[in-house]
Structure 1
Amino acid sequence: MKIQGKMFIWLSVFVLVMAIVYGVWSKEPAGTTALFLTFGLCIMIGYYLAFTAKRVDVGAQDNKEADVADDAGEVGFFSPHSWQPLALAVGGAFAFCGVIFGWWLLYFSLPILLIGLWGWVFEYYQGENQNQ
């Protein structure tokens, strides 16, 4: 994680310099704002990765003598049968269409989004996994 943190921090420095140069030369507010927001996102991700790298064990990507096989293994748990991302995608599509076609469409997309989000967050709090 140290490498990724350093990469994002250096990327944020580059984007900041480019935002300043672009803003001075072009005097165009939309692109300048987008570049400054990109700088903010890069610095947040870089700080998070650098901060987290101090708290976790050294990974294979930080060891210059590591083999590819050293990083093998389980990455995490991903739900194999969840329908909730589909509900979130449909609700998000309706919400974005609401911005295009009319805000009234948000009345139909908000319940779909909330049901999908609720179902995804509490998907494994049912049946035997439910706290009593």
Structure 2
Amino acid sequence: MRIQGKMFMWLSVFILAMAIVYGLWSKEPAGTTALFLAFGLAIMIGFYLGFTAKRVDVGAQDNKEADVADDAGELGFFSPHSWQPLSLGIGGAFAFLAVAVGWWLLFFSLPLIMIGLWGWVFEYYRGENRTQ
């Protein structure tokens, strides 16, 4: 994680330099603002990764003597099947279509989005962990 933090910090320095050069050369405010915002995002990610690297154990990616297999293992739990992304996708499509066609489509998209979010959050919240 420490290496990634340094990479983002160097990336932020490069983006800042390019933002300054672009701003002075083109005098175009939209692109200059976008580059300065990209600089801010890169520095936030770099700071977070560097800050977190000091508080967690050294990972295999920080060890120069490590093999690829040293970082292998379980990455997390991923749902094998879920219908909730379909509901979110259809609701999101209707919401974006509402911008082009008419705002009345939001009345159809918001319930689909809410049902999808509710279902996805509480998909595995059943059984003994459920509160009364």
Evaluate the alpha carbon distance shift between residue 18 and residue 89 of structure 1 in structure 2; reply closer, same or farther with a 3 A threshold. Answer: same
Matches within 5 A, 1:1-132: 1-132=1-132
Q: Tell me how large the CA RMSD over aligned residues is.
A: 1.6
Evaluate the alpha carbon distance shift between residue 30 and residue 101 of structure 1 in structure 2; reply closer, same or farther with a 3 A threshold. Answer: farther
> Aligned partner of 2:70: which letter?
D
> Aligned partner of 1:24: which letter?
L
Rounded Cα–Cα distance in structure 1 between residues aligned with 2:40 and 2:93: 27
What whole-Å deviation, never above 9, does each CA across 1:82-102 have from its counterpart, x for those lacking one? 221222222222222222223
Rounded Cα–Cα distance in structure 2 between residues aligned with 1:46 and 1:87: 35
Query: Secondary structure at 1:3's aligned position in 2?
Result: helix
Please list every run of at least 4 consecutive aligned residues from structure 1 whose deviation after the TM superposition is greater than 6 angstroms: none
> Aligned partner of 2:77: which letter?
F
> Aligned partner of 1:47: which letter?
F
Gaps in structure 1 of 5+ consecutive residues = none
Gaps in structure 2 of 5+ consecutive residues = none
Q: Give the number of equivalent residue pairs.
A: 132
* 1:40 Cα offset (Å): 1.9
> Aligned partner of 1:91: which letter?
G
The 10-residue stretch of structure 1 (49-58 or 29-38) with the greater mean CA deviation from structure 2: 29-38
Rounded Cα–Cα distance in structure 1 between residues aligned with 2:78 and 2:103: 34
